[in-house]
Amino acid sequence: MAITDILSAKDIESALSSCQAADSFNYKSFFSTVGLSSKSPDQIKKVFGILDQDKSGFIEEEELQLFLKNFSSSARVLTVAETKAFLAAGDTDGDGKIGVEGRIWGNLAKL
């Protein structure tokens, strides 16, 4: 399954263009612009599955750094500061990874 099976290419392009500069990524704005906040819980879990590159059931720091590249291979990698802030926002138990039921993914529809 491709991410464009769930999200529109136009919304992805718009979301990526809003965070081209280093340290400009904001996950709430990105999720809203890309259209994730309007998707069903099942669709959100499918996107999570695409982003979970190693299929561990979690998104770890290394996967977060490459987060934008999942939406377009030409996108930039997140900076260390962006990656750490994103991880801190979603890591509910301090284990260094984000689960699909965590703060970010579990509450995505409410953003």
Q: Is 13 exposed, middle or buried (0-12, 13-18, 19+ CB in 10 A)?
A: middle
Q: Which residues contact 68 (CB under 8 A, 6 or more apart)?
A: 16, 19, 25, 75, 76, 77, 78
Known binding-site positions for Ca(2+): 52, 54, 56, 58, 63, 91, 93, 95, 97
Known binding-site positions: 52, 54, 56, 58, 63, 91, 93, 95, 97
H or E element in which residue 42 lies:
helix 41-51
